[in-house]
């Protein structure tokens, strides 16, 4: 797991971590059952407080993406196709609505928002395909 923080990003540090871990799960770089560094290890590696690291993991747990047990390392929760249930379309629509409202409030036009969503989908799908290709090659080699 590779996390890089941008001090100039207006997004809080814990949300930068959340976003990057979500992207790694989506790309298949992190899979269900994978262990993450402890809160202390993550904090030390990134030079952040334990509270910030814990907030990131708790947010991911609240979103159903991590399983956290006291005294154990956090693990990635099973994802679609790994035995987890699919989210309700209404829940997805509500989260997308929040993003679209924020984008429009920040001056984006409907066309810009559509274009940005399309580009993000294409970029994340390509990243996922690359990661799956790497895993398939590794499985064949090893």
The topology under which CATH files domain 1-85 is Arc Repressor Mutant, subunit A (1.10.10)
As a whole number of angstroms, the distance between CA 72 and CA 68 comes to 7
Termini Cα distance of the chain: 21
Which tokens in the block code for residue 52? 């910030």
As a whole number of angstroms, the distance between CA 99 and CA 97 comes to 5
* CB-based contacts of 45, cutoff 8 Å, min separation 6: 3, 37
Give pTM, 2 decimals.
0.72
As a whole number of angstroms, the distance between CA 107 and CA 86 comes to 33
As a whole number of angstroms, the distance between CA 97 and CA 40 comes to 35
As a whole number of angstroms, the distance between CA 11 and CA 18 comes to 11
Residue 68 has pLDDT above 90, yes or no: yes
87: confidence class by pLDDT, cuts 50, 70, 90: low
DSSP-derived 3-state class of residue 121: helix
Residue-wise pLDDT for 19-60, tens only, equals 999 999 988 899 999 999 999 999 999 999 999 999 999 999
Residues in the chain: 142
Q: Where in the chain do CATH 1.10.10.10 domains reside?
A: 1-85
86: confidence class by pLDDT, cuts 50, 70, 90: low
Segment 111-116 mean pLDDT: 94
């Amino acid at each position: 797991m590779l996390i890089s923080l941008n001090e100039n990003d207006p997004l809080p540090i814990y949300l930068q971590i959340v976003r990057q871990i979500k992207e790694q799960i989506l790309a298949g770089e992190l899979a269900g059952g994978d262990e993450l560094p402890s809160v202390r290890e993550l904090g030390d590696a990134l030079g952040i407080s334990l509270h910030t690291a814990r907030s990131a993991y708790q947010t991911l747990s609240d979103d159903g993406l991590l399983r956290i047990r006291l005294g154990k390392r956090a693990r990635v929760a099973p994802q679609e196709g790994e035995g987890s249930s699919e989210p309700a379309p209404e829940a997805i629509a509500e989260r997308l609505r929040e993003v679209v409202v924020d984008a429009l409030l920040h001056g984006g036009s409907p066309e810009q928002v559509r274009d940005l969503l399309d580009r993000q989908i294409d970029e994340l799908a390509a990243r996922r395909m690359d990661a799956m290709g790497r895993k398939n090659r590794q499985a064949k080699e090893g």
